[in-house]
Structure 1
């Protein structure tokens, strides 16, 4: 599908959505006043916590829906914060009140006044001072006032882009913004601030910097590939809940607000996925207040990357908001002959049709032009003898590039204080092609490698549609948050390739100057279409204030059709699956959550056995227990243990080796520990450890007990920063990062292999200075110039990690 067709479909979809009357509701207002009242948006405040801080207190709000920026006023010693378009929906159905949270603050009360939530904070001698953070969680940072401020105007600072290291809510696990402590699953949230502090550009690089997630393959060193989570490879990334393939090009980070990793089977809400887990990218949305920033990065290997982030209202009444993210990257590499150029633009337009109804249009365009690079090879004994910069291709033949178009339309409507609907459409097209030199077989005589000139044309078109209905209600004393929805998805993969053999390349003394062939032979041509329809139901049940149950299930219907054009052959099959999830959370005391869960996944497998029967979907089954703890005001930890089995894995049919049979089984079990947050004011940390025991448990060809490829038993990571909070050096900060990955097999096919990737420990540091509206930063990656290998592909291809690399950046915010 070409870009004109994408834009045409999106415009048509928007026109259809705009034809929906903005005033549709469950009841028709009898007069103008009632109509206005009905159509006030109502984000729901579901929980309120007060935590002490070094300067005063934090009042933290859990909510369904984003709480908007508040208005403030002062009466005597009382600071009044009014949150518009919001209602109280506390578990006890009442209001919130806490007396004397500190010596200088006499009272904090939260009540509902009409269509707003009012927070009254009473100081002993003067009205307190407050700083408001609206994202990722609405928080009032309160400090006691002084007598001199009592008669002066109180300045309220509202921050909308502050992320922190410990977001307390995520939507990936339940499709609803839910406090992490209430979810019976292991979830890791990577906020934008951690990407900025680490100077990270590639999203997959950012994710694999955290223990338990490693890279599987690298598709020509484009940064694309699959992530291994809990031992199983996943080549699908989700973007705002919609599936996108990250196989062809590295996902862009310029418009990423945060990245959420849900570990374990996720089919109950996301359909056909691998059982290890999913990664969901949450993109930046328009802001109500004007915002603009510019960031410029530059470093070794001729790397430079400017980015722009603009947002704010387009109308005086804030009914139309926008966001625009732009990025450009041009870079060489520590690898000889390798360079990359990337363009990215992502506009978002949000129309608040009424206080209850909104329509959001988003679009992304990415052009990625790297030199295709298959890394280096190992010798037959598994040894690493080549320098990490050695390029084993023919650079003059490279004309390889990828273009990605993505567009989306989201319609949201609030029927009442307790019921709302969300409809979303996503359309994407990934076009990849061009000539490149590639491998054509293995290493010959431990010296020569066979190459070929390939010219590919690959197009992936993806259409997705989702409808979610979310409601809150009670049955007696039991509170429910219900999710009912369905999604449609259609993916068409078209691929054709032609190639011709090239002269052998001496890996020890490569000669790149060759005659370029002019005629290529067709090698492969196929079209695969997958249609999927899923219905899901989920109920988050509060049996007691400290006992919560999560129950959900999904029915999936999939149809696959594959046509192999050159062979004039075709294959089709249909599958159905039911994927349940059950979890329970018990909170014996407020900072502690104990949880247990059971979940399943499915993934269709196209093909036929020797008896011409179609293959059943692969199934994943997981049992997990864990504990979550709030260790301090803004510091939390999660400890999880799991047992995960994947069945219906294809293996050789011993009765007919030309065919496969589904009797294979693989098992992964392990322990994960994650810690994130602020230890002391200015001292942030994200740390993780994962023990992963992933192996083959049944197979007709692979030895039972073989460890799965690219999966290390032990991985650990640490990233911590400290920023001086006061004095002449206020704003000066330091960062330290450690990443340990244990040794792992390069390929499961030769386990116990002589082809293993060695363990490594990489050290990164950062120095930054933050002042007013600007920040200067230097990141040193791989401080000790450790030689290491990120991942392997096949039985002898390895992708080396980058050596010592220094990147500087300057950031301005307006």
Structure 2
């Protein structure tokens, strides 16, 4: 309680003048105080990104929008794009193996939160976090947003945007860091004009590369990862440009950490043996590997002053390999750890698609109007090749040999395909912004999707497992919102939005649905020294599959879940030298209709319970101070409330508060040296609660020294 009280007090001091819903992103914090003062408080006028295809700013969009831009990523020292997402209000993201990138937001988790890359909705769990160096920004839209992203997005959407070539003649930057547990980062980026300024056709190229290594804070967990992004921007005519973008990611992790078992008896607040908190119960040759290749071709064409089009043609190829012993539980007297679930699987995915958008400024009924419409076509194909054996063994947690995967009876090398899922999506969408008056605008949009699922069975054909299985859906989603700019520096908005979800697996159900009502405000205050937003919402998710109370062998599409909450954030320059930033979110999430089978095989209603891994409060605070023209320091805090580890709500994982600090020295106009401490108090905490149950522990106290240069 003392941690949350301290954090609430700090947040109240920094942000009491305003309420907010999105993280307010100021221009980069620099040593030059006068430059800071001139750029403070303008972040609401940056692009809202994927929140609308109409090119609206954050301020103009009648929806919850938060953006962590490149300056925010560096100022908050996000190590990967998931760290950047965690700086946004209400987001609680983690990366337990087997879950890709796990996100809890607005009372929803997993597939109810869409994670996109460069505006492309990608299936197949590719959201495992990688180094933030190649990313330009992370965008967040709160609540149902299938209008923008297609099926999914009941709770919200995250979009990770890669750096692209710009029209700078020449720019270069690099970063080298070393930290606890032999964690290293070596990264560089360069943007360069390839043609003379007098040429009719102009070409600009950008290359970003990063290499990360580390031994991990858990025993025997070693990681090696590469990320690279190359893009070529070509101005073919004054009105026509083309961007070719190529990205490659390669990650290898030895003996991945799958969690820390909790002590018996398992009741109430779960506990671990802190003496063995760094034990790794995976086998010696456990492995996680991922390789991802992206190729995009982007055409931008201005037909005239009021009409523009953009077309994005893309190809994605990915492969992920797991080979691990994944489940660990203590025996009755906590003297031994029982290990099980030897799992080897290959996930192969390929997605090809095209997005076309046309925007047009005109007048409708004598009023200014902006239109955006287009179509999307994509084919996503994933093939799983799993091998799952019991793999039971027992070890002494104080002294044990981890063993090897292929020594486990029933395991074997190689992969045998199980099923291939192919999802083909055809979509049409249109948005409009109508200026009803100089201060009042109406935003509307609708999207139609034609979704077809084709499952191919590669194993033995049976009556219950045919060679092919087909399903199809045709949902319609939309959004309507009003924005009222009641004074030049402040507005208020109200919006209603909907979403749909494709049924899981091969269930022959209609899509489940989501709808949201939201009201909010976005404003500057105290002569532009601060910016803030506030939002209140209610989301209802309906008709998802739950176990039939009358027949435990069947599922029926009658599930319902609701959440309601408030999100606030503010960025405020307290003095010319002191910048305060913060956000806080409250959510009340409940199952209205949800059933599941317990360990005895009985079907139990969980009506009124809270979903697992959903904290009801999440808060962030940053204080940055310029001690001298070349010396800057700061502190930060993050609070995450306790979560339930089971749907019965009988097991909990405790809340936690993390503190950090940094000191940065500007050696010259190009180079900065930064020392940083994360988890200053060495808090022992769980980022995620496995249903085993087990903790997925977060990082202990770590130190980092980094040198970054720009030319």
Q: TM-score, normalised by structure 1?
A: 0.75
Match of 1:545 in 2: 438
| Counterparts of 1:230 and 1:339, CA distance in 2 | 34
Report deviation, 1:466.
0.3
Match of 1:348 in 2: 231
| Counterparts of 2:531 and 2:49, CA distance in 1 | 18
Match of 1:281 in 2: 160
| Counterparts of 2:221 and 2:52, CA distance in 1 | 42
| Counterparts of 1:540 and 1:192, CA distance in 2 | 28
Match of 1:715 in 2: 618
- 1:175 equivalent to 2:58? Answer no
Contact in 2 for aligned 1:234/1:276 (Cα 8 Å):
no
Match of 2:499 in 1: 601
Match of 1:231 in 2: 107
Contact in 1 for aligned 2:142/2:156 (Cα 8 Å):
yes
Contact in 2 for aligned 1:163/1:191 (Cα 8 Å):
no
Match of 1:31 in 2: none
1:226-625 equivalent positions in 2, closer than 5 A: 226-235=102-111, 236-245=114-123, 246-247=125-126, 249-287=128-166, 288-317=168-197, 319-371=202-254, 372-379=256-263, 380-382=265-267, 383-387=270-274, 389-439=277-327, 443-445=330-332, 446=334, 447-506=336-395, 508-514=397-403, 517=406, 520=411, 525-568=418-461, 569-570=465-466, 571-606=469-504, 614-625=508-519
Pick one of 781, 804, 810 that aligns with 2:678: 781
| Counterparts of 2:611 and 2:185, CA distance in 1 | 37
RMSD, matched Cα: 2.6
SS at match of 2:358: strand
Shift in CA distance, 169/199, structure 1 to aligned 2, threshold 3 Å = same
SS at match of 2:218: coil
Report deviation, 1:665.
0.3
Shift in CA distance, 389/499, structure 1 to aligned 2, threshold 3 Å = same
| Counterparts of 1:430 and 1:656, CA distance in 2 | 39
Runs (4 or more) in structure 1 with deviation over 4 Å come to 161-167, 245-248, 441-444, 521-524, 606-609, 677-680
1:671-682 equivalent positions in 2, closer than 5 A: 671-676=566-571, 678-682=573-577
| Counterparts of 2:244 and 2:416, CA distance in 1 | 41
Contact in 2 for aligned 1:651/1:662 (Cα 8 Å):
yes
SS at match of 1:194: helix
| Counterparts of 1:264 and 1:757, CA distance in 2 | 26
SS at match of 1:315: coil
Contact in 2 for aligned 1:198/1:779 (Cα 8 Å):
no
| Counterparts of 2:449 and 2:179, CA distance in 1 | 48
Report deviation, 1:766.
1.0
Match of 1:798 in 2: 695
| Counterparts of 1:361 and 1:507, CA distance in 2 | 55
Report deviation, 1:162.
12
Shift in CA distance, 762/615, structure 1 to aligned 2, threshold 3 Å = same
Report deviation, 1:567.
4.9
Report deviation, 1:510.
4.9
Contact in 1 for aligned 2:244/2:296 (Cα 8 Å):
yes
Shift in CA distance, 488/566, structure 1 to aligned 2, threshold 3 Å = same
| Counterparts of 1:297 and 1:333, CA distance in 2 | 15
Report deviation, 1:507.
5.8
Higher mean displacement: 322-331 or 769-778: 769-778
Report deviation, 1:795.
4.2
Higher mean displacement: 227-236 or 624-633: 227-236
| Counterparts of 1:399 and 1:761, CA distance in 2 | 31
Matched residues, number: 647
| Counterparts of 2:440 and 2:574, CA distance in 1 | 28
Shift in CA distance, 544/336, structure 1 to aligned 2, threshold 3 Å = same
| Counterparts of 2:213 and 2:258, CA distance in 1 | 20
| Counterparts of 2:352 and 2:571, CA distance in 1 | 36
Report deviation, 1:500.
4.1
| Counterparts of 2:281 and 2:127, CA distance in 1 | 19
Shift in CA distance, 599/811, structure 1 to aligned 2, threshold 3 Å = same
Structure with larger RCO (C-alpha < 8 A, sep 6+): 2
| Counterparts of 2:351 and 2:633, CA distance in 1 | 43
| Counterparts of 1:162 and 1:465, CA distance in 2 | 38
SS at match of 1:492: strand
Report deviation, 1:563.
3.1
Contact in 2 for aligned 1:405/1:430 (Cα 8 Å):
yes
Pick one of 618, 624, 642 that aligns with 1:743: 642
1:36-51 equivalent positions in 2, closer than 5 A: none
Higher mean displacement: 468-477 or 166-175: 166-175
Q: C-alpha deviations, 1:187-219, integer Å up to 9, x for none?
A: 111122222123221211221244411136612
Contact in 1 for aligned 2:290/2:320 (Cα 8 Å):
yes
| Counterparts of 1:365 and 1:201, CA distance in 2 | 18
Contact in 1 for aligned 2:231/2:244 (Cα 8 Å):
yes
Contact in 1 for aligned 2:440/2:484 (Cα 8 Å):
yes
